[in-house]
Amino acid sequence: MSNLAPQPIYRKDYKPSNYLIHTTDLSFDLRDDETLVSSKIHFYKNPKYQAGDNSLFLDGIDLELISLVIDGERVDYELSDKGMQLRHLKDEFVLEIVNRIHPELNTSLNGLYQSSGNFCTQCEAHGFRQITYYLDRPDVLSVFTTHITADKRKYPVLLSNGNLLTASSGQATWHDPTSKPCYLFALVAGDFAVLEDNYTTLSGREVALKIYVEAHNISKTQFAMDSLKRSFAWDESRFNLEYDLDIYMIVAVDDFNMGAMENKGLNIFNSTYVLAEPKTATDKDFINVEAVIGHEYFHNWTGNRVTCKDWFQLSLKEGLTVFRDQEFTSDLHSRSIKRIEDVNALRTFQFAEDAGPMQHPVRPESYIEMNNFYTLTIYEKGAEVIRMIHSFLGETGFQKGMKLYFERHDGDAVTIDDFVSSMSDANEFDFSQFMTWYSQPGTPTVSIKTNYDEISQRFHVEVEQNKGHDYFLPLNYALLDDQGHALKEGMLTIKQHKESFVFEQIKSKPTPSWLRGFCAPIHLLTDLTFEQKIFLVGHDSDAYVVWDSAQQIWLSLILTPNKAHEQLFFNALEKLIQTTPDKSLVSEVLTLPSERFLHQQVAMIDVFDINQKREQMAHKVLRRFEALLLETYNSLNNNQAYQLTSSAVGGRSLKNTCLYYLSKDKDSGLALTQFEQANCMTDQIAAFNALITNNSAHKDQAIASFYQTFKQDVQVMDKFFAAQSSSITSDIGCIKSLMQHELFSFNTPNRLRSVVGGFTQNYINFHHQAGYEFFTDIILKLNQSNPQIGARLVSVYNHWKRFTPELKQLQKQQLERIMQSDDLSNDIFEIVQAALK
């Protein structure tokens, strides 16, 4: 590493730009071996910021400047590896630049690059500066006109934001009438097929809807189109928000660092979140496609029309938009299952992030590489914070707040405070104490102690927060009688470090149900007994509490086996399987906590011990329930025509949970039969996983047949690779041969994530010296080709200090090895230095 360590950027250093931009005219000449970018930018002095001299720094990275004039005249400038300094400028002027870039060589997948031979862009957060010199910051908005020239045979489709002004062969000009920051700029040029439809908004605007994909994928786009129309309709009915342009385009590309990007009027998607048909996509894939299509669409208001003043406010758009997409999925599918899945992901991944070296507040104070802050904390914890605001205000109050937010800020770049003030002012609700949720990192712990006094018929509750904390939070509860009926239910408002509540006229000792719906992102410690938790599993009407109580029981039985408790719990499970109509819920309850989650619950991570203990529990479930699991499996294995209804999804989910257990001990033949006869990917991949993970005699046959059937399908092949690389039956030799496979591609993030990301989840084979060394070599290669993906992957070492001494030492050595390497990218440097601290 060089001596000059990268320096953080601080939120406190924010200054408005001294210049703003009226219009940005861009012209792209796309060629095989270079692209010429010409820009004509009309600058004017920021009327709100007249201080300072008339100089301007324009961001620019990896650009070759060809020419520059201001108002038609040559001027002096200084170039550095970060951009261009201009001085002695007029208050208003037009800058014209021509520069050269090389999208054909761009493997970072930021800025302008190629995917499957087509051109596309990714500009958030700082990609535009890899296209041309510009004020690459979200609070400088302008009107863009984009002219594209390209070889018409190779690139018949030429797209950019807004409306098409003119098009002739090999040329197109687009004009976006809405002012936007450059991170929302997009350009696409390529050979695509298109699925077209239209939507009429509430106020009667006719919007043309277009989904562009590579021609061979066109048959897999109908679900995405239907999801898009559902997104338009849902945002109108639930949020009273309409779309504002005459065209909405989605382009799917195979090479993409993230899920998708909400560029104004021209979303660019990782093809995984567009393409779906039952034969190749699982139920979860379908629901994810719909959620991501919704998420990007919802950004049009929460993100695009009202954007962020600086990148520290990222959760302003992301937390809010995740909350909106969660509600979208909940309104369209099973609300309770969506909540359980989201909470499970939050507690498994975000809680770990919040307890690790990269912990940061929902509004961070500094960053080295902004791309490292597209985190679970910004997105998922950010959404939980919005959910708490929603809990305090209720749906009507929340919508009043949203209305005021748009009245005040439509067209602006604003802060999280502006959002919360709108919520506060519209409802006369004081959120000042609530702001700790945005400023304080870490997951709060809340303890509850109760006492029932039979004589006075009072139920006393004491709620205490950790270490002097006084988070402001909602606490949903119910007090249940011995039939599970709620004697009292509601929301307690917690504001102080320690609070007491008394419930009067409680005729017998109740079982409390706490944190219903997981109404706050906290660790909750209660004084519930084992028996009470079992009671909640069998009786609570709140699905989250049912699931969470079962999770707590699984956890204790896996980590500290107890025969008597196990019997009690298994009896309750038996009843649950036999009587609960919601198959998805039964499936969730029957699913053991993941290894990843278990790792968080122990003082020191012994990967092998945890793997073994969890496997032992799976075998105990099988021994106790074999007959019932088989009966349930058979009753659900009906091969009905594929439907995505909650009941059909629940049926498949429970069936495949049964299959998981039934395939544990022996080759029952069930998995092979299901694999051969499956009519949808949900069943196919579940059977494939069962065959691979349990070293079935049919494993090789399954691999060969799966490959033959699906080798043309990129999304299915990602599953094929991930299933193998994450299986404990695949050692490092297998991973190396997967990387030699003809379909492996190092520069395609989805494929790399499926093989290398999968390997890091292969707890038996990843965690030893050779596994770590092999992985670190990959990180060092990514440091050159795609540091953003490298930084994501290297985070697996973040928890090294919590492992058993030998593994801890080995991981530390790898982190040091990375730190010592030359030319470390900011992305990887930031993660590794935080881990080593």
Q: Which residues bind Zn ion (CB under 5 A)?
A: 318, 321
Work out how close the CB of 188 gets to ligand B3K at its nearest, in angstroms, rounded to a whole number: 16
The yes-or-no answer on residue 380 being catalytic is: no
- CA-nearest of 416, 409, 402, 413 to 241 is 402
Q: Residue 369 touches which of ligand B3K, Zn ion, none (CB < 5 to 8 A by kind)?
A: none
Structure-token pair, residue 369: 């590489």
**Residue among 318 and 830 whose Cβ is closer to Zn ion:** 318
**Residue among 262 and 595 whose Cβ is closer to ligand B3K:** 262
- CA-nearest of 389, 380, 301 to 348 is 380
**Residue among 465 and 788 whose Cβ is closer to Zn ion:** 788
- CA-nearest of 324, 328, 325, 378 to 349 is 378
**DSSP classification of residue 756:** I
Q: Which stretch binds ligand B3K (CB under 6 A): 129-137, 254-262, 522-530, 734-742?
A: 254-262
Question: In the β-sheet with 83-86, what is the strand arrangement from edge to edge?
Answer: 56-59, 83-86, 78-80
Q: Residue 371 touches which of Zn ion, ligand B3K, none (CB < 5 to 8 A by kind)?
A: ligand B3K
652 interacts with ligand B3K by CB under 6 A: no
Work out how close the CB of 321 gets to Zn ion at its nearest, in angstroms, rounded to a whole number: 5
Alpha helices, H only, 604-698: 607-636, 646-662, 670-677, 681-693
Work out how close the CB of 318 gets to ligand B3K at its nearest, in angstroms, rounded to a whole number: 5
Do 514 and 489 contact (CB within 8 A), yes or no? Answer: no
Site for ligand B3K in 370-429 (CB under 6 A): 371, 374
Binding mask 111-140 for ligand B3K (x = CB under 6 A): -------------xx---------------
Work out how close the CB of 381 gets to Zn ion at its nearest, in angstroms, rounded to a whole number: 14
Integer Cα distance of 195 and 374 in angstroms: 31
Total residues binding ligand B3K (CB under 6 A): 12
353 interacts with ligand B3K by CB under 6 A: no
As a 3-state breakdown, the chain gives helix, strand, coil percent values, each rounded to 5, of 45, 20, 30
Integer Cα distance of 777 and 471 in angstroms: 43
Q: What are phi and psi of 356, to 5 degrees?
A: -110, -175
**Residue among 314 and 423 whose Cβ is closer to ligand B3K:** 314
Integer Cα distance of 780 and 772 in angstroms: 12
Instruction: State the burial class of residue 194 (Cβ atoms within 10 Å of its Cβ: 0-12, 13-18, 19+).
Output: middle
Q: Residue 374 touches which of Zn ion, ligand B3K, none (CB < 5 to 8 A by kind)?
A: ligand B3K
- Cβ neighbours, 10 Å, residue 38: 17
Residues 6 or more apart whose Cβ sits within 8 Å of residue 674: 637, 659, 683, 684, 686, 687
**Residue among 121 and 321 whose Cβ is closer to Zn ion:** 321
Q: Residue 614 touches which of ligand B3K, Zn ion, none (CB < 5 to 8 A by kind)?
A: none
Work out how close the CB of 718 gets to ligand B3K at its nearest, in angstroms, rounded to a whole number: 19
Structure-token pair, residue 663: 């395939």
Q: Which stretch binds ligand B3K (CB under 6 A): 56-64, 257-265, 535-543, 648-656?
A: 257-265
Integer Cα distance of 121 and 261 in angstroms: 10
Work out how close the CB of 297 gets to ligand B3K at its nearest, in angstroms, rounded to a whole number: 10
Residue nearest to ligand B3K (CB): 124
Integer Cα distance of 651 and 337 in angstroms: 13
Work out how close the CB of 289 gets to ligand B3K at its nearest, in angstroms, rounded to a whole number: 14
Q: Which stretch binds ligand B3K (CB under 6 A): 82-90, 256-264, 347-355, 822-830?
A: 256-264
Integer Cα distance of 417 and 683 in angstroms: 47
Work out how close the CB of 797 gets to ligand B3K at its nearest, in angstroms, rounded to a whole number: 21
Catalytic one of 124, 214, 296, 384: 296
Give the residue, chosen from 139, 310, 318, 588, that forms a contact with ligand B3K under the rule CB under 6 A: 318
Site for ligand B3K in 326-345 (CB under 6 A): none
258 interacts with ligand B3K by CB under 6 A: yes
Site for ligand B3K in 260-299 (CB under 6 A): 260-262, 295-296, 299
Integer Cα distance of 444 and 463 in angstroms: 13
Question: Which residues belong to the active site?
Answer: 296
Binding residues for ligand B3K, per CB under 6 A? 124-125, 258, 260-262, 295-296, 299, 318, 371, 374
